[in-house]
Structure 1
Amino acid sequence: MTDELELLRRANPVPADGPHFGDGPLDHRAERHLNRLLREETPSRRPLRKAVWGLAATAVVAATVSALLLSGPSTAPAVAAPRPLVVQAGSTPVPLDRLAERARAAAADGAPGLRKGTHVQSWSLGMEDDRPPVTLPEERVVRWRADGSRTELVVATDPRHPGRPVLTDEGGAARRVADGHVLSDRTYPPSWSDAPPESSPPHDPAHLRAYLAEVAHSTSPTTTELLDATAELLDHWTLGPRESAALAGLLADGGHLRPVGRVTDRLGRRGQAYVLDAPGIRRMLIMDPATGAVLGLETTFTTAGPEYGVQAGDVMQYSAWMR
């Protein structure tokens, strides 16, 4: 029982420094911990899964509304969830170890280096027991200052439909706002934590694996946990070529990500896609074919969940990181 309680604590929807109230959605960190808990296959923890899905469907997921609340009887539904990224027909998959070689070569060119802070566009699926799921698109820019303080700007925007109203959640109620509507603009005091992911990530595969293991709170992280930890890392840091090469190398060493071919991501960038299949979901990692930099990470349902209104092929979460 101790392990289960610790996992639930990590999925805390209201961390002490979090921006949301108790009846609001999870932040990115808590969502990833919750997703990790839901995928846990250890026999002693399996009975916990159903209860956590119930929790995910009520108190700790993004607020949702039905199409009737968001559109009049003569208008089209206001919410259109993104479809899964599609691999280009006939494209040649590039093995991850070959991409890692390209990344190491690119790192020797002296391109812009590691920077603390992030610029990320995300699409997150919100679910609730008695309402259809909706997708909440947001763009977040985090910049750090020399004194250790940081600014965080979050806006509601969907680059797939520039200029069109965007669905968002403010104060526990989903509504439409203008494209580019500022959801939050905060300045945080200095933080001097030296624990990952606050500390600088190393730029060799072995040390980066240990770093991500600490982020994942696991001594021997699975590929799923490494992907979750990678997303958390990229929500804190914009990696340089050496760190990107190290990340490509350690993921290639695992041998669990399957190359599937070329995709165009939701920001119009071309990348190579690598897939990890897990019970009920598919993870797709999109990487720059020349530098090995992570462009995006998509999580898609592969089985329907009628009790939550989700279908096979619905995108649970997608993040696209930019320089």
Structure 2
Amino acid sequence: MADELELLRRADPVPADGPHFGDGPLDHRAEHRLERLLHEDPPRRRLRLLPPLPGRTPRSRLVWGLAATAAVLAVAVNAVLGGPNTPRAVAAPRPLSVRAHSAPVPLKEMVALADAAATGGSPELRKGTHVQSWSLSMSDGKRPVTVPEERVVRWRADATHTEVVVATDPRHPGRPVLTDGGDDPHEVADGHVISRTTYPPMWNDAPPEGTPPHTAARLRAYLTEIARPQVDRGTSPLSTVELFDAVGELLDHWTLGAPESAALVRLFAKAEGLRPAGEVTDRLGRPGHAYVYDTGDVRRMLILDPRTGTVLGVETTFTRDQPQYGVRAGAVMEYSAWMR
């Protein structure tokens, strides 16, 4: 390896006395090469590095050494500037981790806390939502990417409402953000407004637009109507998966008051297979108690406010590899954090 190491030592891409590599601007030739580096097709930049085989001539070792040097430079440029297949936006979030040695709190205790918080009647139920989400965008033949968005829906007294969707990731303020934007994923500036829509007056009594009740029995019927629309709902109780899905729909339309949150905690306390896991800090920095439910290839985690039982967020992660989409076990499929 002596020849290769010597070549790498001599291949200084930025010599100290180079006239065009200081703090000043690049010359025209350098700008042209940088433009090609950033935009040419990936297959033309892909390098295969093979170790020298026995019997190779010095010339073949020289070619390998130069290829290794080029690969080092390509990796360095991608790390700093990012290539067409390496977005500079922040990486996908890791699954929330339960705090070590934290004591799991049974849901029955959370019911008592939520009931106590509801006696004051505050906060009150409000139509509309404020939610930050991270969603994994998957499609055949394309690498999966995580799209972070903040959505604010506000209703007026005349039954009109506005919806604003912004590309932002509060974990890394000011960093570029990936967005689908109805096209292939691409980077936008943090805070980029994806859409701003005003809707005409709307009146609908059916869930989830209709006002949610504040007793557990009636709220269960309300959520059943969300989970099983336009079908024979039967008499079977909501499954835990149906409960999670229906609650997501509910919280994407309403900001619950204390009585509604207390009724919801009662439903979660009776959900089959939902078990306490311990304390977590959600992606907005809020402390919470975590409850997990495993089914099939995914795990759902419910995060409740430790003082009031209010739903802070729901995280869904893969527990098995999804090779058809290039997704590994542990990837966050979706995470929603609701705010007032």
- TM-score band w.r.t. shorter chain: 0.7 to 0.9
Structure 2: tracts of 5 or more residues without a match: 1-77
Amino acid at match of 1:294: V
1:173 aligns with 2:190: no
Aligned equivalent of 1:94: 105
Query: What secondary structure, in the 3-state scheme, does the structure 1 residue paired with 2:285 have?
Result: coil
Aligned equivalent of 2:132: 121
User: Aligned runs of 1:64-79 on 2, under 5 Å?
Assistant: 71-72=82-83, 78-79=89-90
2: CA distance, partners of 1:315 / 1:296: 13
What is the identity percentage for the equivalent residue pairs of Structure 1 and Structure 2? 66
Q: Please state how far the C-alpha of 1:145 moved relative to its aligned partner.
A: 0.7
Counterpart pick for 1:161 among 160, 165, 172: 172
User: Structure 1's 116 and 157: CA in aligned 2 closer, same or farther, altered over 3 A?
Assistant: same
Aligned equivalent of 1:36: none
Q: Please state how far the C-alpha of 1:137 moved relative to its aligned partner.
A: 0.2
2: CA distance, partners of 1:110 / 1:229: 24
2: CA distance, partners of 1:176 / 1:277: 34
1:268 aligns with 2:250: no
User: Aligned runs of 1:239-258 on 2, under 5 Å?
Assistant: 239-258=256-275
1: CA distance, partners of 2:249 / 2:169: 22
1: CA distance, partners of 2:82 / 2:136: 19
Amino acid at match of 1:246: A
User: Structure 1's 238 and 76: CA in aligned 2 closer, same or farther, altered over 3 A?
Assistant: closer
Q: Is the 8 A contact 1:71 1:78 kept in 2?
A: no
2: CA distance, partners of 1:156 / 1:312: 26
The C-alpha deviation readout for 1:192-245, integer Å capped at 9, x for no partner, is 110011111111111100000000014432011011000000000000000000
The C-alpha deviation readout for 1:233-274, integer Å capped at 9, x for no partner, is 000000000000000011102242100000000000000000
Q: TM-score, normalised by structure 1?
A: 0.76
Q: Please state how far the C-alpha of 1:107 moved relative to its aligned partner.
A: 0.5
Counterpart pick for 1:259 among 258, 276, 286: 276
Q: Is the 8 A contact 1:79 1:134 kept in 2?
A: no
Q: Please state how far the C-alpha of 1:190 moved relative to its aligned partner.
A: 1.2
Q: Give aligned pairs, total.
A: 256
Q: Is the 8 A contact 2:262 2:309 kept in 1?
A: yes
Q: Please state how far the C-alpha of 1:176 moved relative to its aligned partner.
A: 0.6
Q: Please state how far the C-alpha of 1:110 moved relative to its aligned partner.
A: 2.8
1: CA distance, partners of 2:196 / 2:87: 32
Q: Is the 8 A contact 1:79 1:135 kept in 2?
A: no
Aligned equivalent of 1:279: 296
Q: TM-score, normalised by structure 2?
A: 0.73
Aligned equivalent of 1:290: 307
Q: Please state how far the C-alpha of 1:76 moved relative to its aligned partner.
A: 7.0
Query: What secondary structure, in the 3-state scheme, does the structure 1 residue paired with 2:324 have?
Result: helix
2: CA distance, partners of 1:251 / 1:144: 28
Amino acid at match of 1:304: D
User: Structure 1's 301 and 110: CA in aligned 2 closer, same or farther, altered over 3 A?
Assistant: same
Q: Please state how far the C-alpha of 1:171 moved relative to its aligned partner.
A: 3.2
Structure 1: tracts of 5 or more residues without a match: 1-66
Counterpart pick for 1:207 among 218, 222, 237: 218
Amino acid at match of 1:208: L
Q: Is the 8 A contact 2:301 2:315 kept in 1?
A: yes
2: CA distance, partners of 1:107 / 1:182: 36
Query: What secondary structure, in the 3-state scheme, does the structure 1 residue paired with 2:222 have?
Result: helix
Aligned equivalent of 1:60: none
The C-alpha deviation readout for 1:65-115, integer Å capped at 9, x for no partner, is xx99x9327977535110000000010000011101100000012322000
Aligned equivalent of 1:236: 253
Q: Is the 8 A contact 2:175 2:189 kept in 1?
A: yes
1: CA distance, partners of 2:286 / 2:297: 27
Q: Is the 8 A contact 2:173 2:190 kept in 1?
A: yes
Query: What secondary structure, in the 3-state scheme, does the structure 1 residue paired with 2:185 have?
Result: strand
User: Structure 1's 186 and 259: CA in aligned 2 closer, same or farther, altered over 3 A?
Assistant: same
User: Aligned runs of 1:23-172 on 2, under 5 Å?
Assistant: 71-72=82-83, 78-172=89-183
RMSD: 1.8
2: CA distance, partners of 1:161 / 1:314: 19
Q: Please state how far the C-alpha of 1:185 moved relative to its aligned partner.
A: 0.5
The C-alpha deviation readout for 1:276-297, integer Å capped at 9, x for no partner, is 1000000000000110100000
2: CA distance, partners of 1:123 / 1:202: 29
Query: What secondary structure, in the 3-state scheme, does the structure 2 residue paired with 1:186 have?
Result: strand
The C-alpha deviation readout for 1:45-75, integer Å capped at 9, x for no partner, is xxxxxxxxxxxxxxxxxxxxxx99x932797
